[in-house]
Structure 1
Amino acid sequence: MVEIDRTNTALVGLDLYTVAERHQSDLVEAIVQEQIKFWQSNPYFLSASVHRSLDEVRVFTYSQWQPKFDHRSLPRPKVFDEFFPPDVLQLEVSASRSLSTEVEIVAGKRITHLAEFRMMPTNQPEMVKRTTIEVDRAMSNSPGLISATFHRSLDGTRMFNYGQWESKEAFEAILKQPGFNPNQPYWEGLARNEFHLYNVVHVETKQ
């Protein structure tokens, strides 16, 4: 089990992979057996979790590092030459709400949705303001929503919502609400957004 540090005493690394369906399992195994084991030898490493998408063409790792360390500077094991290189970002938490005291990442059947918002850096402060409001509304009106944690990228170009749900059906219900319906873009003029659903398949903490 991993806890998301919502106080920003840790820096978040997000590695986003796109992969052919037939290679998703191989990529997950490479991340677990090669990448994370290599990360664990780094004194700045705190935790990592691996997520595989339900549509079988995406994988991402959510890692946490001691402050001021840029995990993007680390070399990638040779085995990753077989896959498309990931989109790698540094993030910090900008807003978070949860049914419990801590936001826990655990492997299992819980559904994780990762929503990505792309924007001009000048729009990020307004996005941060809006998402701070939206996270309260989402938690108040969404049965089955366990937690919602918004992150901003340090380069100013993106924001991500890491949401945890009891089931896929619970997530799909929120799409009918104003502001969450993909056909009624609440973020128009500020950001382009898309989302995908995942299962957590592996978690690791500092040894």
Structure 2
Amino acid sequence: MDEPGTVNYIQWRSAADLQARYDGRKFQQKTVPLFHKLARTVRLLKTELAFTQHHPALEQGIEISPERDDYTVVIVFDTRPEDQKELLETLAQPDEWITTVPGYRSHTYFRGVDGTYVVNYAQWDSKEAYDAFHTLPEEQRPAGIRRGRERARTLVTGRQANTYRVTHSRSALPAKG
């Protein structure tokens, strides 16, 4: 939404299934070259779910679907491998305060499998709600939140962020058995 770009968010049943996909001839010889042809930059991020929280009103939990009107924010925090665990412990904490912020829907943290990044995937009601939260002066945030944000800044070596609207989703059929 803020800058041209696409996120292709895929969940796999297992790390082995994902690796099989990455090792496959079609993926290496057709898919990856096509990504590079279509995009200015390509970054394949293998992650594991580390933490998730959603607004209590979302009784069904988090859903990714074009039928929803979520304003989605994806932030990739680069970090040193020796700092990734602390960065996750700092950011990925239950947060009662954020559930009081107008427009908040959910946020999820993923650990980069290679240890060099953490991904934040967040859903908001609108751009205006997210911008109001994002630009909220630090002194208006709870003290514990401010301390965590200060600590996280010392652990982050780079940051990429953009906003999105979901335009397509599909799921595999449930496994028989």
| Smaller-chain TM-score bracket | 0.7 to 0.9
User: Hey, what's the Cα distance between the residues in 2 that align with 1:190 and 1:80?
Assistant: 30
2:130 aligns with 171
TM-superposed deviation, 1:189 = 1.8
TM-superposed deviation, 1:58 = 1.0
Runs (4 or more) in structure 1 with deviation over 6 Å come to none
Decide whether the 8 Å contact of 1:95 with 1:131 is kept in 2: no
How does the TM-score come out when normalised to structure 1?
0.64
Partner residue of 2:37 out of 69, 79, 82 = 82
TM-superposed deviation, 1:140 = 3.0
Decide whether the 8 Å contact of 1:115 with 1:196 is kept in 2: yes
Higher mean displacement: 123-132 or 69-78? 69-78
Instruction: Report 1:51-70 matches (<5 A).
Output: 54-67=1-14, 68-69=16-17, 70=19
1:128 aligns with 88
Decide whether the 8 Å contact of 1:97 with 1:139 is kept in 2: no
- Percent identity (aligned): 25
Decide whether the 8 Å contact of 2:74 with 2:120 is kept in 1: yes
Specify which structure has the higher proportion of helix.
Answer: 2
TM-superposed deviation, 1:138 = 5.5
Q: Which runs of 5+ in 1 are unaligned?
A: 1-53
SS state at 1:64 partner:
coil
TM-superposed deviation, 1:142 = 1.9
Does 2:144 align with 1:197? no
TM-superposed deviation, 1:164 = 0.5
Q: Which amino acid aligns with 1:72?
A: Y
Q: Which amino acid aligns with 1:82?
A: K
Q: Are residues 174 and 148 of structure 1, via their aligned partners in 2, closer, same or farther at CA, if it must alter by over 3 Å?
A: same
1:117 aligns with 77
CA offsets, 1:95-131, max 9 Å, x none?
1101234210111532000011000000011011111
Aligned length: 151
Q: Are residues 98 and 81 of structure 1, via their aligned partners in 2, closer, same or farther at CA, if it must alter by over 3 Å?
A: closer
